Amino acid sequence: MNIYEQYLRGPMMPHIWCSGCGNGIVLKALLRAIHRLNVSRDDLCMVSGIGCSSRLPGYVDFNTLHTTHGRALAFATGLKLARPHMTVVVISGDGDALAIGGNHFIHAARRNIDLTLILFNNFIYGMTGGQCSPTTPLERLATTAPYGQIEPPFDVCRLAEAAGATYVARGTAYHASQLDRLIEGGIRSRGFSVIEVLVPCPTIYGRRNRLGDGVAMLKWQKENAVEVRAARKLDPNELEGKVVTGVLFTAQRPEYCQEYERMMARVQGKGERGL
Ligand code: SF4
Ligand code: MG
């Protein structure tokens, strides 16, 4: 049995993802990272919201929660506080995590709660109808931007860093082996980790914007990604239109569950009433 089969829920196959979609590549990278980390499947929980990528937890044999649109981080926060020993991985898309769930995103980062968010960025709402999302680039077409997007997109990683995340990385579906290292690092890091992954959505985003099929979209990633150490040697003009990948930011800061436990021990130790 290969390493993927031992973690997949066979009866849930076939999956719903389109031919050429990047989600399966990220799923395999995630399974390789978990396999290397040797986390017991009983001690790992995957939580997702709504969207194409958010179907992922249904396909894997861990503790899994498929929750409501935008609320994966809120469910995961409650789970982590109740079971702080568990490794909690949150699967979310760009619309799910940054529009509907944008408040949960910034506050999970501010708290520095020990969750690992894998943010599948396909630049659009794929499953729910092709609407523009907070990462749709300027001028790109969407069902809700038929003449081109005029709202500037979020830079996911800069937003995560500014809000307080302590491990921030970006990868692409094309750079699959780099991706499992980025995910592994995020799970190891004790605090809020964000791994943004650029994934091709040839069916909804690619077709509407004439970007070609899944292979063409992966080729674009191959040609336009610049690893962060190489990027530091380039000037801003040379980086125009490029995607900087790798671990972009790390920091050490108190983690929320530890702080909560410390506070409760202090309050209970003094005989004070709990909150
Ligand atoms: Fe993937 Fe896009 Fe198809 Fe959704 S609609 S499964 S994101 S290719
Ligand atoms: Mg999306």
pLDDT tens column, 206-216: 999 999 999 99
Residue nearest to atom 5 of ligand 1 (CA): 126
Mean pLDDT of the chain: 96
Question: Which atom of ligand 1 is closest in space to residue 199's alpha carbon?
Answer: 7
Q: What share of the chain has pLDDT > 90, as a percent?
A: 97
Residue 273 confidence class, pLDDT cut points 50, 70, 90: low
What pLDDT does 269 receive?
Answer: 84
The strand pairing partners of 226, in sequence order, are: 244
Q: What is the pTM of this model?
A: 0.96
Residues 119, 96: Cα–Cα separation, whole Å? 9
User: Which of these, 148, 147, 126, 127, lies nearest to 137 by C-alpha position?
Assistant: 148
Q: Provide CB contacts within 8 A for 256, sequence distance 6+.
A: 111, 112, 113, 114
Query: Using CA atoms, how far apart are residues 63 and 50, in angstroms rounded to an integer?
Result: 17
Surrounding residues of ion ligand 2, Cβ less than 5 A:
93-95, 122
**In the chain, how many domains are there?**
1
pLDDT at site 32? 98
Which residue has its alpha carbon closest to ligand 1 atom 6? 17
How is 215-264 classified by DSSP, letter by letter? HHHHHHHHHHEEEHHHHTTS-HHHHTT-EEEEEEEE-----HHHHHHHHH
What is the band of 89 on the pLDDT scale with cuts at 50, 70, 90?
very high
Tens of pLDDT along 223-265? Answer: 999 999 999 999 999 999 999 999 999 999 999 999 999 999 9
How do beta strands 193-198 and 167-172 pair?
A: parallel
pLDDT tier at 205, thresholds 50, 70, 90: very high
The pLDDT score that the predictor gives to residue 271 is: 57
CATH code, domain with 262: 3.40.50.970
195 Cα–ligand 2 center, Å:
15
| Full residue range of the structural domain in which residue 247 is found | 5-272
pLDDT of residue 147: 98
pLDDT band at 1 (very low <50, low <70, confident <90, very high): confident
